[in-house]
Amino acid sequence: MDDKVYNVSVIGGGSAGVMATMRSVLNNDETLFFPGTPADRRRSRERWVKKVENMPAHLKYDRGIEHPNQESLAWLSECSLKHNFHWKKDLGVTSLKKEDEVFHLTDSEGELYKSRFVILCTGVMDVQPKVNDSIRDILPYANKQTADYCLRCDGHHVYGKEVTVIGHSNIAAWTAFILKERYNVPNMAILTNGEKPEFSEESNKLIKLYNIDVYEEPIQQILGDPKVGELEAFILCCGTTVPTEICFVSLGMLVYNELAKEAGAELDERGFVLTNEKGESSISGLYVAGDLRANIKKQIYTAWDTAVDSADAINSILRKEKRERLLQGL
């Protein structure tokens, strides 16, 4: 057991976790950084995101989150404040509890740590559509970004293309409407993949007005070239072929909130962690940044902004404590 009480621990090594760590180290606060095990990273957006086209200066990276993060972490390990940076490479956190005003963290090798403040950045993952009970068939297209998940990141891919939205919720219907309105998509279909549509009355009206075809049958096959990610069509169980060059998946998100729950933090109805504007959860000292946090855009720049707010809020408390000790002559 490491008996020292660290000031800050950051859990998660994606957009939010790396920014929170960078900000804390540069604020001169000693920081433990747990980026996650290889398995944590494989199931995260950090690893999954490829080209980032909606942000300046990212086009040169094949993996728009992972590669710039690696560069920044390498720099942090060499910078003048490197003594504050404790990088627990390939380690995740398996338990997080607050006892006697201090957080107790257990890492994936069973080592224990104590920390006054925690910034939790474990993120989310998008739910994948199943074809014959497996997500295997969609993955090559997700890897080449002909299957997309985020309107703000990749909506522009649909311009001039035949587009299919996969999903049955009213959010899926709205994904189709936004793409249609924004990019004047010539042909648009919604595949509910065997689920009953949950569209509102207004959505049903818009579906008709926008000539969007809705198919409820399960997807039986994806036609295309998985090696290069070229998508041609979805074949449904009834034999119908739905021509598709780009598909958007709108099936919701898996929220990685296990540690937040264990620590007792309050969640919203979808499982995101509720916080104040600085990112502090209902557990004092437990901050949350990035996609895991409720009521924010799920984007890289929001992850950065929320991470900076949390690290700066912690630094402000630590500085205030120092100032008060100084004023009291301690």
Ligand X SMILES: Cc1cc2nc3c(=O)[nH]c(=O)nc-3n(C[C@H](O)[C@H](O)[C@H](O)COP(=O)(O)OP(=O)(O)OC[C@H]3O[C@@H](n4cnc5c(N)ncnc54)[C@H](O)[C@@H]3O)c2cc1C
Instruction: Using CB under 6 A, list all residues that contact ligand X.
Output: 11-17, 34-36, 40-41, 44-46, 48-49, 52-55, 65, 92-93, 121-123, 126, 149-150, 153, 256, 259, 290-292, 298-301, 303
The SS3 call for residue 95 is: strand
DSSP category for residue 25: H
- By beta-carbon proximity to ligand X, the closer residue of 161 and 207 is 161
Angle at 101 between CA 276 and CA 264, to 5 degrees: 55
- By beta-carbon proximity to ligand X, the closer residue of 34 and 87 is 34
Least distance CB 297 / ligand X (angstroms): 8
- By beta-carbon proximity to ligand X, the closer residue of 67 and 235 is 67
Cβ atoms of 9 and 34 within 8 Å: the answer is yes
Least distance CB 143 / ligand X (angstroms): 9
Report the sign of the C-alpha dihedral through residues 205, 206, 212, 215, in that order: negative
Least distance CB 200 / ligand X (angstroms): 26
- Spatial CB neighbours of 160, under 8 Å, sequence gap ≥ 6: 183, 186
Closest CA relative to residue 183, chosen from 163, 205, 167: 163
What's the maximum distance between 2 C-alpha atoms anywhere in the chain?
A: 81
CA–centroid distance for 134 within its chain: 22
How far is Cα 95 from Cα 107, in angstroms, rounded to an integer?
Answer: 7
- By beta-carbon proximity to ligand X, the closer residue of 13 and 285 is 13
Least distance CB 309 / ligand X (angstroms): 14
Least distance CB 268 / ligand X (angstroms): 16
- By beta-carbon proximity to ligand X, the closer residue of 30 and 40 is 40
- By beta-carbon proximity to ligand X, the closer residue of 34 and 287 is 34
Least distance CB 187 / ligand X (angstroms): 23
How far is Cα 168 from Cα 216, in angstroms, rounded to an integer?
Answer: 9
